[in-house]
């Protein structure tokens, strides 16, 4: 198979690079899908901690003894990765998994610092053993198929683990034990199962393993069908998998199992599965979020121990070029045991087939609807890294009805559910494989996969990278005596095509019947221009071929040199026919477009070639973004690439032993022939910036370069600190004033200074900043926890350009001075770390702000009372998106808290529609129907002293006239703004006035507030006392309460009503009282 070089291309990408130092210092559609928090922290395998802030900004806190390690931060496709410089050699040597530095994936997988350990899969080696011992890591499972152990490394000891792992003699690789997700009977008819049943083939005697979320064995359609079930979800103490108390609370595994082998007993046979007499075994690997190690262990059990002939996996993980542990397990277990792994292609559409569906041995299944149209979300090829044909087949995956687990949400009494996705397509193919396995007891994976692909029905409007061989047709497969080997061809030609060598591949047909079969062969191929491939490019060795009974016959498929042929991907198939028999063999060709060798030489400030670089090559005419990590040649100081003709921008960051940094860019590089570019640090000028106070010591200096390609921006930021120097240089001509921008910033205690230059990067910079150029900002912060460390995290951007510079972390400073380079915006976040057993961090976001020179500003953070404020409450025709920050201060700064517990529930006319486990944040897949709704959000943050729990309870109606139409939900909140001291305390034993305001959701229909009721509690919410309320202007009110003489906490509850809505906001421990 042709393997191209690894290169990131395709979807619009945004990439942010930071090199520097930390600044001083769906099973059921209606279930809410929680959004990640806006600000969270995660400890990397190196022991460094990264905080993800609003706008994908990051703040890095180095681990012990690592203060001088530079950092590389990149953001691509919404994923933020932070790579310490000492991890680059490990990444380049393919010894650590890049996902270990993907902050977005770590957080979305639940691996943030609310979890105390980091789950890893570690290849067995002496270095791994030493690293595990040094860090007191626990081994929880062995994975013999991939030669690895599953370990849990305490984050507090991650630095020791990393140090032991990176000794010069160390070998072996470490992967993240990543989390994947489940990817999801008219379809039974669609794939021809009744024709197989008429032939007496129902899957009887064949065992199919379902590796999923478990199976409800009490469902009538599945009762008595499951011969064994094991729970492979992680066990806290590393114990063995269990067979006790296995429930399918997600419901995903149950519907998948019923599509394969359900009897349809509860529907009178209407929802019968494809192979209703097949036997099932269940390997539970999670409840929706599945760890790689759990799935691999279940694969080993199903294939090696239970000898299942067919194994269904309707689960997908993000793919990467080459084989990961999941791919390796599929391929090795297939080779060892002959099991056929039937795997969903994924629900990522054009973003590519997910893992382990990308494994060579897998039968990878995409999804079509009842009209044979490809479902929009069905993941398609070419395969990442080598351009191979994937998926292999398609099957029905839209509006598929199957058994509903009695343990799943919602409606416990409902027996069936209708779903969509490749999760439902794969079990159709798995059931078809079970039928073939019954018909041919001696067949193993090669024959089963080839027969299912060869008998598939291709759609004329889809290419092989979308559908493989076509939609599964088991009714045809059971009557087809002939299949092809191999079942698909993935071919390639490298540029230039003037010296292409001929490609010839053997195509073998196997006849399992008792009579010879004469086949008529036809090869049809479409080129990248959607026209038939040029004559003479492809060839077929035979037009007819006779395959003897029980024997084989061979021909060849060839690709000939033809310099005039268009470059790109070709899609076609060999069709062999004999009467009603047809055998389809997909053919894909990646004919590489014009490429040139681009060599980038890296020279340090001393004139010596250096390996200490991180470089981006960004397409100006294409969506191509090349990362040096993916192309590094071990021991080389040059980066050698093959790139298509076109215009590029080059940005590099280099550093020396003292961690001085050099940033060099060439905004426009024309590539139309092989060429070498020397990125020479000696050409760079020094960046020297001096604030008015010459006695302060620089915290961080950084340079940012932004480049806009056809679809999106790529931003590169390099930061240095701790007294290190920064140098910059531009090579060649300027870039576009709207498509290229650079910025330089210097941060000092009490000073933030930044400038930007559209179209160019200065070669060095000298700035002596007078006090008259600065704005002064005086800030106060009122703590929310008695044992907490507040800090300022400052980032900045530039109007018209999506540049986010590295965030500077520093202790809270009351007075900071800013310059006002036109177009510069500043964003300040105040964070507070509460040191208790939960270790929680709260962030108050100041939003983007501009300051004028010579002006003085006051900003206050953390003023009570912290409670809910409004953000997003949009209901489209199909989904409600809710984002209500539950801890906003009196100034309206939104807050996110790392360690919270909470719920969000939605009912209509008293019936539950959805519930979720994150207060104020949810996406509910449901249409806005007519009725009376109640929406409740509840959030707690036990690590803090004040506003420990906030609740918002809304009621509103949707009329019949508005049902089904998009709307902004008419929510409102009550904001309390009492006059409190610097500790958010009011006087005990006094009558106290609390100003408050009712705010209604922006974009909704504003209605007059008809009433407001306020209550206070002085006993932690046990009893409530009404407050006297008077109305002010507009939607403002005042409430009067009498504080007890005994100091303590005050809780507040207020209900505001309009003609059609009501809102009740409750804040526990809203503020303190004290004797004065």
Active site members:
212, 252, 423
* Contact by Cβ (8 Å): 886, 975: no
- Nearest residue to 555 (alpha-carbon basis) of 513, 522, 515: 522
Token pair recorded at residue 468: 């493989």
C-alpha–C-alpha distance, residues 850 and 734, integer Å: 28
Closest CA to 432 of 471, 402, 473, 401: 473
Judge contact between 1012 and 1056, C-beta under 8 A: yes
Per-residue b/e over 310-320, b at no fewer than 16 CB within 10 Å?
bbbbbbbbbbb
Cα(202)–Cα(196) distance, integer angstroms:
7
Q: What share of the chain is helix, strand, coil (3-state, %, to 5)?
A: 15, 45, 45
Which pair of tokens denotes residue 322?
């080459």
Could you give phi then psi for residue 270, rounded to 5 degrees? -65, -40
Residue 733: exposed, middle, or buried by beta-carbon count in 10 A (0-12, 13-18, 19+)?
Answer: exposed
Q: Burial of 377 by CB count in 10 Å (0-12 exposed, 13-18 middle, 19+ buried)?
A: buried
Separation in Å, CA 290 to CA 218, 316, 352: 24, 9, 20
Positive or negative, the CA dihedral 890, 894, 898, 904 is: positive
Task: Please say whether the beta carbons of 568 and 591 come within 8 A.
Answer: yes
| CA-wise closest residue to 766 among 789, 785, 747, 746 | 746
Please report, for residues 203, 253, 451, the alpha-carbon distance to residue 435 in angstroms, rounded to integers and kept in the order given.
4, 20, 12
* Contact indicator for 29, 923 with CB cutoff of 8 Å: no
Please enumerate in sequence order all residues whose Cβ is within 8 A of that of 961, keeping only pairs 6 or more positions apart, or say none.
none
Strands 207-212 vs 179-182: parallel, antiparallel or unpaired: unpaired
DSSP secondary-structure letter at 772?
G
| Three-state secondary structure call for residue 434 | helix
Which helix (H) or strand (E) element contains residue 75? strand 71-76
Cα dist from 874 to 587, 847, 972, whole Å:
46, 22, 14
Alpha-carbon torsion angle 302, 307, 310, 311, nearest 10: 10
Task: Kindly report the three-state secondary structure assignment for every residue of 459-523.
Answer: CCCCCHHHHCCCECCHHHHCCCCEEEECCCEEEEECCCHHHCCCEEEEEEEEECCCCCEEEEEEE
Pairwise CA distance, residues 714 & 14, whole Å:
5
Structure tokens at 850: 């501009």
- Sort 1075 into a burial class: Cβ within 10 Å, 0-12 / 13-18 / 19+: exposed
913 within 8 A of 922, measured Cβ to Cβ: no
| Residue 410 · residue 28 · CB < 8 Å | yes
CB 16 within 8 A of CB 715: yes
CA angle 722, 725, 727 (to 5 degrees): 145
- Report the C-alpha gap between 113 and 130 in whole angstroms: 24
Rounded Cα gap, residues 753 and 796, in angstroms: 10
């Amino acid at each position: 198979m042709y393997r191209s070089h690894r290169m990131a291309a395709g979807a619009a990408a945004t990439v942010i690079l930071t090199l520097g130092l930390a600044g001083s210092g769906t099973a059921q559609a209606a279930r809410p899908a929680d959004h990640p928090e806006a600000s969270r922290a995660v400890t990397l395998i190196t022991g460094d901690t990264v905080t993800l802030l609003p706008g994908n900004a990051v703040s890095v806190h180095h681990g012990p003894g690592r203060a001088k390690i530079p950092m590389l931060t990149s953001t691509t496709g919404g994923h933020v990765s932070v790579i310490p410089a000492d991890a680059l050699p490990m990444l380049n040597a393919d010894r650590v998994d890049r996902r270990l530095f993907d902050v977005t994936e770590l957080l979305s997988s639940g691996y943030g610092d609310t979890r105390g350990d980091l789950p890893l899969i570690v290849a067995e080696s002496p270095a791994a053993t030493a690293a595990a011992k040094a860090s007191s890591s626990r081994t929880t499972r062995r994975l013999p198929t991939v030669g690895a152990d599953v370990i849990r490394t305490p984050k507090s000891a991650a630095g020791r683990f990393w140090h032991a792992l990176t000794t010069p003699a160390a070998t072996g690789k470490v992967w993240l034990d990543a989390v994947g997700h489940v990817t999801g009977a008219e379809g039974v008819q669609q794939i021809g199962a009744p024709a197989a049943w008429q032939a007496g083939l129902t899957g009887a005697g064949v065992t199919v393993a379902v590796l999923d979320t478990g199976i409800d064995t009490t469902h009538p359609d599945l009762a008595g069908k499951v011969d064994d079930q094991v729970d492979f979800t992680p066990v806290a103490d590393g114990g063995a998998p269990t067979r006790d108390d296995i429930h399918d609370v997600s419901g995903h595994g149950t519907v998948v199992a019923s599509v394969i082998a359900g009897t349809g007993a509860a529907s009178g046979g209407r929802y019968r599965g494809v192979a209703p007499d097949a036997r099932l075994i269940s390997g539970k690997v999670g409840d929706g979020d599945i760890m790689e190690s759990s799935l691999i262990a279940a694969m080993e059990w199903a294939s090696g121990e239970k000898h299942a002939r067919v194994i269904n996996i309707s689960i997908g993980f993000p793919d990467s070029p080459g084989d990961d542990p999941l791919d390796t397990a599929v391929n090795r277990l297939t080779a060892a045991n002959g099991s056929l792994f039937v795997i969903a292609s994924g629900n990522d559409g054009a973003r590519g087939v997910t893992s382990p569906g990308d494994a060579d041995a897998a039968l990878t299944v995409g999804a079509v609807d009842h009209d044979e149209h490809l479902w929009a979300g069905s993941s398609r090829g070419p395969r990442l890294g080598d351009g191979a044909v994937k998926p292999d087949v398609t099957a029905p995956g839209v509006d598929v009805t199957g058994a509903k687990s009695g343990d799943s949400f919602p409606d416990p009494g409902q027996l069936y559910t209708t779903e969509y996705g490749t999760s439902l397509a794969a079990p159709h193919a798995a059931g078809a494989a079970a039928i073939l396995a019954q018909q041919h007891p001696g067949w193993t994976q090669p024959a089963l996969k080839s027969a299912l692909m060869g008998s598939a029905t291709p759609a004329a409007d889809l290419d092989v990278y979308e559908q493989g061989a076509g939609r599964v047709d088991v009714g045809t497969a059971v009557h087809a005596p002939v299949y092809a080997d191999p079942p698909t061809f993935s071919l390639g030609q490298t540029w230039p095509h003037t010296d292409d060598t001929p490609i010839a591949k053997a195509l073998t047909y196997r006849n399992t019947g008792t009579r010879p079969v004469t086949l008529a062969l036809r090869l049809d191929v479409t080129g990248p221009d959607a026209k038939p491939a040029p004559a003479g490019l492809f060839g077929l060795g035979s037009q007819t071929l006779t395959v003897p009974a029980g024997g084989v016959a061979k021909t060849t498929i060839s690709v000939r040199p033809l310099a005039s042929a268009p470059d790109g991907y070709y899609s076609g198939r060999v069709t062999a026919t004999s009467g009603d028999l047809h055998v389809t063999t997909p053919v894909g060709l990646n004919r590489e477009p014009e490429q040139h060798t681009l060599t980038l030489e890296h020279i340090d400030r001393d004139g010596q070639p250096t390996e200490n670089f991180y470089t981006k090559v960004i397409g100006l005419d294409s969506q191509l973004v090349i990362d040096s990590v993916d192309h590094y040649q071990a021991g080389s100081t040059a980066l050698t690439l093959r790139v298509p003709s076109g215009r590029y921008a080059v940005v590099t960051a280099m550093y020396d032993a003292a961690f001085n940094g050099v940033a060099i860019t060439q905004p426009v590089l024309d590539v139309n022939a092989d060429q070498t570019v020397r990125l020479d640090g000696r050409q760079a000028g020094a960046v020297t910036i001096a604030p008015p106070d010459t006695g302060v010591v620089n915290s961080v200096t950084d340079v940012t370069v932004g480049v806009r390609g056809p679809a999106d921006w790529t931003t590169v930021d390099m930061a240095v600190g701790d007294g290190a120097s920064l140098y910059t240089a531009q090579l060649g001509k300027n870039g576009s004033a709207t498509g290229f921008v650079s910025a330089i910033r210097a941060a000092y205690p009490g000073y933030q200074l930044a400038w930007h230059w559209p179209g160019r990067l200065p070669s060095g910079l000298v700035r002596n900043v007078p006090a008259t150029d600065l704005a002064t900002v005086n800030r106060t912060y009122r703590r929310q926890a008695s044992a907490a460390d507040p800090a300022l995290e400052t980032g900045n951007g530039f109007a018209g350009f999506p540049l986010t510079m590295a965030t500077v972390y520093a202790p809270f400073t009351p007075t900071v001075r800013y310059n006002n380079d036109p177009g510069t915006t500043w964003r300040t976040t105040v964070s507070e770390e509460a040191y208790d057993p939960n270790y929680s961090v709260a962030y108050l976001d100041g939003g983007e702000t501009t300051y004028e020179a010579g002006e003085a500003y006051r900003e206050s953070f953390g003023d009570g009372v912290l409670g809910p404020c409004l953000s997003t409450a949009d209901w489209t025709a199909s989904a409600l998106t809710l984002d209500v920050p539950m801890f906003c201060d009196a100034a309206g700064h939104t807050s996110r808290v790392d360690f919270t517990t909470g719920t969000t529930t939605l009912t209509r006319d008293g019936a539950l529609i959805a519930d979720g486990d994150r207060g104020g944040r949810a996406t509910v897949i449901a249409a806005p129907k007519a009725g009376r709704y109640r929406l409740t959000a509840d959030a707690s943050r036990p690590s803090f002293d004040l506003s420990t729990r906030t609740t918002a309870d809304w009621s509103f109606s949707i009329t019949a006239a508005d049902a089904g139409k998009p709307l902004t939900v008419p929510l409102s909140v009550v904001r309390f703004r009492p006059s409190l001291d610097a500790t958010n305390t009011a006087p005990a034993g006094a009558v106290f006035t609390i100003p408050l305001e009712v705010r209604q959701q922006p974009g909704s229909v504003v209605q007059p507030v008809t009433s407001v009721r306020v209550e206070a509690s002085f006993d932690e919410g046990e009893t409530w006392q009404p407050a006297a309320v008077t109305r002010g202007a507009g939607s403002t009110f005042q409430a009067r309460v009498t504080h007890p003489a005994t100091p303590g906490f005050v809780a507040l509850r207020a209900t505001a009503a309009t003609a059609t809505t009501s809102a009740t906001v409750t804040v526990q421990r809203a503020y303190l009282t004290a004797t004065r």
